[in-house]
Amino acid sequence: MKLKMMRGLWTVLAVIGCTMCGGPGYQVRTLSSGKALRVLGVQKMNLPDGGPTLVLQYQTDIKKDDQKALRKEAREIWADFKADVESANLGSAILTANFAPQGGSSLEDQIYNFVYVKDSSGEWKCSNDQ
């Protein structure tokens, strides 16, 4: 039952995506762990080298140089988001952590991607962990 609720939650987010008007520019969703997640958007993208993938963009308060904490947060998000990727019958997903903009920083400095790919045995791997 809880899994179906989470699938429904992510489906609604996918429909809403980044089309929100006004407000803070994100929606707060509670993960099954109890953590509040600020979701900026969810969308399906077709990558030139890898086919379709589901992308979840979220805002984080963790500093980009704290890789251990970022990976922990990504695993926590992935525990819930994986079901939506699988129900969409996709073999890859990207979690994009968005950091608070710093004066003069480039877009590359403001995001960090965690790329998940399902291997031939059906096991999900995060390419950042390799």
Integer Cα distance of 119 and 94 in angstroms = 15
Provide the pLDDT for residue 34: 96
Q: What confidence tens digit (pLDDT) does each residue in 45-68 have?
A: 998 887 899 999 999 999 999 999
The mean of the pLDDT values for the chain is 82
The pTM score is 0.77
Please spell the DSSP secondary structure of 30-94, one letter per residue: E-TTS-EEEEEEEEEEEETTTEEEEEEEEE--S-TT-HHHHHHHHHHHHHHHHHHHHHTT-SEEE
Lowest mean pLDDT among 2-6, 36-40, 58-62, 119-123: 2-6
The domain in which residue 107 lies consists of 2-129
* All residues at 6 or more sequence positions from 125 whose CB lies less than 8 Å from its CB, including other chains: 116, 117, 118, 119
- Please give the tally of structural domains in the chain: 1
